[in-house]
Chains A and B, each alone.
Chain A
Amino acid sequence: MLKQPVGLESVRYDIMWNRLIAVVQEQATTLVRSAFSTSTREAGDLSAGLFDIDGQMLAQSVTGTPGHVNSMASSVKHFLAAFPVTEMEPGDVYLTNDPWKGTGHLFDIVVVTPVFIEDRIVALFACTSHVVDIGGVGFSTTSKEIYHEGLFLPLMKFGSKGKFDPNVVAIIEANVRDKIQVMGDIYSLAGCNELGANRLVSMMREYELQDLDALGQHIIDSSRKAMIAAISEVPNGSWVSTMRVDGVDSPLDIHTSLTVTDQEIKVDFTGTSSVQPYGINVPMSYTDAYTSFGVRCIVGPQIPNNAGSLGVIKVTAPENSILNALHPAAVNVRHVMGQLLPDAVYGCLAQVLPNQVPAEGTSSLWNLMAKGDWDDQYANRSFMMMSFNSGGAGARPGQDGLSATAFPSGVRNMPVEINEVISPLIFWKKEFREDSGGAGKYRGGLGQTIILANSQDKDFVFSATYERVIYPARGRQGGESGKTGRLSLDDGTAVMAKGDTVIPAGRKLVIEFPGGGGLGPSSERDPKAKARDKKLGYVN
């Protein structure tokens, strides 16, 4: 057992801890700046972290999406089980996109790089990002099993002495639609790990550290202790809640039970609907990530992510439920369900911490994905547009919900002007959807309305992966539900909320995003807030 640092030594440890967090943040910044895929650079759909040689995570970057909160953390353990540290060498690069051992779908490639000082391995850096393409059916709900979803790269040693395995590179290049960009993303993953490694080595030299054992122990112990202190402020007990959501062709139920003890918070999803024959299934690692994130926004939000702080939240779901889909289930767009999990957790926490928990929101992203032919010199006669957009978030204790803002994801949208440069589409409207926020003492955030059409006399294909079209984001404590979302053509024809639809030439597609749920009875709303809503046209 290592000695607890005291006095000046403990101050010193905290400073080094600070530096480790700065290092993984730099690692992530490098990745964002050099990435190709839209979701990595615009949405921050990536993660970077530092691990000790037992695979325990010591520091993780805070990035745009919580989907990797601890899925990447457990991933390194899978690598170490397959490739013991004793066999690792300087210049090695390891890789996988196994949804069950990585971060939940084939699009996410995890790269792990060991760090050496002289010939001793002292740590590992891992990072993951969403690559542009991985073959298969693409980013849609239409896959039926993992085999439809593209190239599966099992845990492997991908590079040694700094060189990538040419055979694997050839396999990747032969199986994806845009090999240059995909390989570009993989280079950028390996590159950011290298940067992290250099920074770590120079810090260890500055502080004359031989290894990270004592510092790592300090980080994990203090974080665990702080989390336990935060948990102790939540009364012990068990709470259950259910949430019904749209699904693809039949509604799905998420059953949540949350138990608080002195030492930990347990979340279990027993009773949740079973695996579906569509890509909306969620591997356990991803369920774990969004559930933990939801809890952490309420309990100990300022405590950095690492093995200590994450270890006290235990998430379980029955095998073959939609939240613990096993191989070979289709998991392509696991975010559609995964992003609803904080709302599921809050259904329980609202019963014990009513003054800290928001109402339900749109939660799942409402991404715009469109493709088609294009008579344009720029685009090889076709276009593909992908934009990250959001409906209203739930009302919060003490304030209204955020309008057209992502939660729990942290993505940024794409500018309309850029979308119109890279595609022949015209955005005829992109404005708040008035009256869509659930009424309440605190109002739900407004959704938005987007009207989209092709500027050429041609069809285009629109891929929808939308939730909250049948079942709304519910209010809490007497607050009303937000409006459900809706898709239609300008002639009134309804458009499916999940799946691909051909939008005929000359027609406009009208997308009305859901609003967030309200909090507290609307009779208690401050008259000034009501007057402001009216004046600004949020509520008519």
Chain B
Amino acid sequence: MVDIRLAADIGGTFTDLALTADNNLWTTKLLTTPSEPARAVLQGISTLCHQSGIDMAAIDVFVHGTTLATNALIERRGALTGFLTTSGMRDSIEMAHENRFEQYDLAMRRPDPLVPRNLRIGIRERLDSNGNVLVKLNRQDILDAAEAFKSSGVESIAIGYLHSYQSDAHEQATADIIRENWPEVSITLSSQVCPEIREYERFSTTCANAYIQPLMAEYLTQLDTQRREQGMLCQMFLMQSGGGLGTLEEALKYPVRLVESGPAGGALLSAKIARELDLKDVLSFDMGGTTAKLCIIKDGQPRTSREFEVAREYRFLAGSGIPLRLPVIEMVEIGAGGSSVAHLDQLGRIAVGPRSAGSEPGPASYGAGGHEATVTDADVILGKIVPHFFANGEIPLDIEAATTALNNTIAIPASLTPLTSAIGIAEVVDENMANAGRAHAIEQGCDITGGTLIAFGGAAPLHAARVAQKLEIDTIVVPSGAGVGSAIGFLRAPASHEAVRTRYHKLNALTMSDAQDLIRDMRLEAEQVVKSAAPNSTTTENVRIYMRYIGQGHEIPVGVDLTQITPSSPTADFELREHLTSLFLASYRNLYAREIPGLEIEALNWLLTIQTVEPPLEVTPSEQPISEIAALRTTPVTDPLTGTTEKYKLIERKTLLPGLFTTGPALVVEAQTTTVVPRHFKCFTVGAGHLKIQKMQDSDILDA
């Protein structure tokens, strides 16, 4: 049976679609239609069906990811939301961490909370940290608050009480009381959306969900209806930030999980290629117009965490956004893209980003009125972007405008030539990305030296080689269809669900029956969700416990396997503690290169993930290419490492067929991007049309 899958990814500027059947792939790219986002999706679906000759009704799976949830939070376009919380705690989401995320900026501003203070109402009730009731829930307070919300025009209500991760009884009862008189209002419970300790983050996640729920429900319902009317009748799945697929029903309840699905798709694409090409240590590098996203893929899997911040308003700085606690693919995002603007800092040094010229006016070289020097302008001056091939020649590049911009913003004030300024811009942006990648690797306890960089997004292949050099990485892969990378990543995403519980245990007092009860409870939740999405699939289960030494503030996630312990054995508790201790110590050593003898360990959060298993990918054997392709011609390019300009071979990507290779220095051009192949590197096509750029062995260099 042919499995026909269609994926659609709505981004800020473009809506990308990919259709796959029987190892064939069709893709299309449309401008996003912000006033009615479903329109571009539906149009793209018809285009692909038309191209492929596949009947809409024959499609088996429809996967959808969208940036609408993220944008609604960034642009503050959500519903008027009310927040009910424990009396005495209503300012938690506004106080945040009581700190300044930018030490030296006295004018620093904290983002406004999603729910203003007048719509945050304290309810008399109180649980202690074990979930025992200290103050009974006050019904009248809830009725009064609901009245006040109604008269203020509130459309959505968030409910978050202290310690509700231990017991949801008060939150559930509150929701029931509200629904008695106000059945149509949207309600989000913190104990459902994020049953995890740390009230600020939990309340923030709850308010974010409530805030975007009405808008997302309207959009998703509309899209679902319209695509059915057009004749696409299969089940629709939504791409979630953690890299798993969820059902429409789940998305309607927890739209906050759809935040950042696009970047998740990018990471999934890299993960798929890593498995396809059998790459163990991969750094996924996605560089677009405004930001670069870096993500570690170990053994073909991206890592997930539960700490995340959306809408960082201040230079992408940690702390300047809205914290969300939900499964998310662990990645780092910095303000470095093709349209990032270069400037001189207070010391006269070249600095790049995080401000971006966006798509309007865009880089100066696009000739659309931009007059500030951007990364793309530097790439044009360095010769890395060849005008004739850029966007199939559809957008003429204005080299003069790029030179003027470089002169005015950098070269003249810094007494440099435009070329030296361009080298500086490229080096600074590459250095920033390499530093971010290195820091990200440290935080994960990984070493990416000697691994592979998978580069996609319009700007990444232009910068990948230099970033790789800085990270001591010798191999780069530029995927096929890199222009619609996230949509392709969606196609093979697993259906998954992550259940979470906070239960504080000292390891030396933890019993097997504590652990089993918790796991059973989480398994029930996760199974139910995944079964509804993929009834007959094989699934895997993965349990992680967030542990730390007593007294530490940060827990580290430790993957555990309790199936090897026989619960009925008289030594089960002992075995459990031994097992968890040794796993914790191993993870701790991996992160910090040491352990602390004699210190007790505690467990705080428990996670259980169930996900469907994809049939293993066939590993493509890496065939060595035999003959060198003839260059179209040469073109002058300046190498930022040496500062010298030399002739680079010019190769069209579509002509670099399997069996052929080119050696650097060369540029491999295609409509959407250009791949730079430095000296001493070899470039050829592998697998399903991916470009591989590999450092040559000394012997090869002598031969060449």
Contact = CB atoms under 8 A, between A and B. Distances in A.
Interface in A505-540: 535-538
A259 B551 CA distance: 46
B690 interface: no
Interface in A205-244: 206, 222-223, 225-226, 230
A427 interface: yes
A393 B535 CA distance: 56
Interface stretch (B85-93, B359-367, B519-527, B653-661): B85-93
For chain B, give the interface size range.
Answer: 35 or more
Contacts of B598: 180
B100 A26 contact: no
Interface string A1-38: 00000111001101101110010011001100111101
A398 interface: yes
B104 A296 contact: yes
A26 B442 contact: yes
Given A398-B107, A421-B197, A413 B435 contact: no
Interface string B496-532: 0000000010100100000000000000000000000
Count chain B CB atoms within 10 A of each CB in A180, A202, A222, A230 and give the residue with the most.
A180
A29 B442 CA distance: 9
A8 B118 contact: no
A533 B593 CA distance: 51
Contacts of A30: 442, 592
A451 B106 contact: no
Given A396-B107, A455-B128, A405 B592 contact: no
B616 interface: no
B98 A38 contact: no
Interface stretch (A99-107, A184-192, A262-270, A490-498): A184-192
A356 B104 CA distance: 13
Contact of A26 (B197, B439, B554): B439
A230 B117 contact: no
Contacts of B163: 417, 420
Interface stretch (B170-178, B340-348, B486-494): B340-348
B272 interface: no
Interface in B606-647: 643
A399 interface: yes
A19 B128 CA distance: 48
B179 interface: no
B118 A536 contact: yes
A430 B107 contact: no
A274 B104 CA distance: 30
Contact of A415 (B199, B346, B424): B199
B346 A19 contact: no
B416 interface: yes
B350 A14 contact: yes
Interface in B186-215: 197-200
Contacts of A180: 596-599
Given A187-B596, A301-B105, A418 B198 contact: yes
Nearest to B425: A11
Contact of A15 (B89, B431, B506, B591): B431
Interface in A407-450: 407, 410-413, 415-418, 420-421, 426-432, 448
A42 interface: yes
Contact of B200 (A22, A296, A298, A415): A415
Nearest to A534: B118
Contacts of A448: 91, 95
Nearest to B349: A14
Interface string B105-120: 1111110000011100
B197 A415 contact: yes
B435 A303 contact: no
B642 to A, nearest CB: 10
A191 B98 contact: no
A157 interface: no
B29 interface: no
A11 B424 contact: yes
A298 B98 contact: no
Given A26-B438, A29-B439, A64-B99, A402 B107 contact: no
Nearest to A450: B88
For chain A, give the interface size range.
Answer: 35 or more
A345 interface: no
A268 to B, nearest CB: 23
A300 B435 contact: no
A124 interface: no
A140 interface: no
B100 A7 contact: no
B420 A8 contact: yes
A262 B103 CA distance: 27
A302 B104 contact: yes
B53 interface: no
A378 interface: yes
Count chain B CB atoms within 10 A of each CB in A64, A378, A406, A535 and give the residue with the most.
A378
B423 A8 contact: yes
Contact of A11 (B88, B420, B551): B420
A411 B95 CA distance: 13
B428 interface: yes
B118 A535 contact: yes
A257 interface: no
Contacts of B570: none
B99 A430 contact: no
Contact of A297 (B89, B106, B415): B106
B439 A7 contact: no
B603 to A, nearest CB: 12
B309 interface: no
A53 interface: no
B681 interface: no
A389 B593 CA distance: 33
B342 to A, nearest CB: 12
A226 B347 contact: yes
B95 A406 contact: no
Contact of B106 (A396, A426, A535): A396
Given A18-B428, A191-B593, A406 B98 contact: yes
A34 B592 contact: yes
Given A390-B98, A411-B99, A536-B117, A8 B350 contact: no
A420 B116 contact: no
Contacts of A428: 88
Contacts of A535: 118
A413 B99 contact: yes
Contacts of B162: 416-417, 420
Nearest to A365: B98
B98 A413 contact: yes
B98 A412 contact: yes
Nearest to A305: B104
B346 A11 contact: no
A403 interface: yes
Interface in A298-318: 298, 300-303
A159 to B, nearest CB: 14
A358 interface: yes
Nearest to A27: B442
Contacts of B165: 417
13 contacts: A14-B349, A17-B349, A19-B431, A62-B104, A64-B99, A181-B596, A223-B347, A413-B98, A416-B89, A417-B129, A429-B89, A432-B117, A537-B117
Given A29-B439, A178-B551, 18 more contacts: A7-B420, A8-B643, A26-B442, A29-B442, A30-B592, A62-B103, A226-B347, A300-B346, A302-B345, A404-B95, A405-B98, A405-B99, A413-B97, A413-B98, A415-B200, A416-B162, A431-B89, A535-B118
Interface of A: 6-8, 11-12, 14-15, 17-19, 22, 25-26, 29-30, 33-36, 38, 41-42, 62-64, 66, 132, 178, 180-181, 183-184, 187-188, 191, 195, 199, 202, 206, 222-223, 225-226, 230, 296-298, 300-303, 356, 358, 377-378, 388-390, 396-399, 402-407, 410-413, 415-418, 420-421, 426-432, 448, 451, 455, 535-538
Query: Can you list the 5 inter-chain pairs with the closest CB atoms, starting with the nearest?
Result: A429-B88, A11-B424, A301-B104, A22-B435, A41-B553
